[in-house]
Amino acid sequence: MLRRQVLLGAGGMLAHRTVSAVRLNPAWPRALTMGTARPGGIYAVYGPAWGAIAQRATGVNVAYRATEGAQENIILIDDAQVDLGMTTLGVAREAWTGTGRWTQGVRFHNIRALFPMYETAFHGVARPASAIADASALAGRVLGVGPRGGTAGAYVPTMLRVLGIHPSAIRYGSVADQVGAVVAGRLDACLFAAGVPVPAFAAAQNRGATRLFGFSPPQIGRLVSALPGLSTSVIDRGTYQGLAHDLKVAVMFNFAIGRASLPDDLVQTMTRAVMTKAGRLCIATPAAVGTIAANAARDRFLPFHPGAARYFRQAGVAIPPRLVAG
């Protein structure tokens, strides 16, 4: 079966399990497992941060499984191998409609939106002496795009095809390893998608070992027109060391997701806790400034879990009936 075979080879270990907690409701599960991602990106730090908030609020233990990212999180939730996860809306749309190549035509309808997280920016690093100033210079280059099951692994090859840019090879792997390969000269560039600052990018920038690049404004315009879920944003100068000017980028929004069968009151309690204590998430990553209730409106297609929808409606956010499913 696709759900057990695609992308599951590298993510089989539970990275961390928390100590026992006292559940507020004995009918709730004793424990939940969250799919996160490999080190070097934002999911690996954001996931445990919001999981800790949810655990304190509910008394339900949360464990973490290091995955390939957005695609694998969806596959694992849909197959009930994990309970919680994170994804970009673009990848979620491919999953819901079964239109992404990675879905092999399967529609993943056991996932529900929980709450908005932050924008994911498509941007890359190359060596300082490289001639790579934007994506057009990637033609004929060896390019890393992070894990195969992550947002960049799914979307960057498609984005380059839209623009008629053809690297000589595309490599997959952890973003931390790929940034190291760029610095060592084994890759020409790494073009990734994550909240900013990407930890692996920031570490390399702090050493002066890389230079940031993105897409040109005309390229971004073509991408936004061609690919649903993409929009335009800016990485502010100073976000990374050595970034002396604003960098225009294409972005997607990230959402926390969960199994459809999770209890409504459990999801409502978790969602309320995360959204009212989101300041704690900013300690884990500055990207978490996007974790605000108003951003729930960024989701226009993926059904919310009824418990999450109940919280947002109480918080004054309009969730259309068509976007609530049990």
Domain ranges of the chain: 2-118+254-323, 121-251
Q: What is the mean pLDDT of residues 169-190?
A: 96
Topology agreement, domain 2-118+254-323 and domain 121-251: yes
What is the spatial distance between Cα 195 and Cα 48, in angstroms, rounded to a whole number? 15
More confident residue, 19 or 118: 118
> Residue 232, SS3?
strand
What is the spatial distance between Cα 229 and Cα 316, in angstroms, rounded to a whole number? 24
pLDDT in tens, 131-166: 999 999 999 999 999 998 888 998 999 999 999 999
Residue 137 token pair = 């210079």
Homologous superfamily (CATH) for 2-118+254-323? Periplasmic binding protein-like II (3.40.190.10)
Residue 221 token pair = 């315009």
Q: Check whether 317 has a pLDDT greater than 50.
A: yes
CATH code that applies to domain 121-251: 3.40.190.10
Contact 3, 78 (CB under 8 A): yes
pLDDT in tens, 11-56: 444 444 444 567 889 999 999 999 999 888 889 999 999 999 999 9
Bridge partners (DSSP) listed for residue 197: none
Q: Check whether 66 has a pLDDT greater than 70.
A: yes
DSSP 108-157: --SEEEEEEEEEEEEEEEE-TT---SBGGGGTTSEEE-S-TTSHHHHHHH
Q: Check whether 1 has a pLDDT greater than 80.
A: no
* pTM reported for the whole predicted model: 0.84
Q: What pLDDT sits at residue 54? A: 97
pLDDT in tens, 227-241: 888 989 999 999 999
pLDDT in tens, 196-224: 999 999 999 999 999 999 999 999 999 99
Q: What is the mean pLDDT of residues 285-289?
A: 91
CA 170, chain centre distance (Å): 20
**Residue 6 pLDDT grade (very low, low, confident, very high; cuts 50, 70, 90):** very low
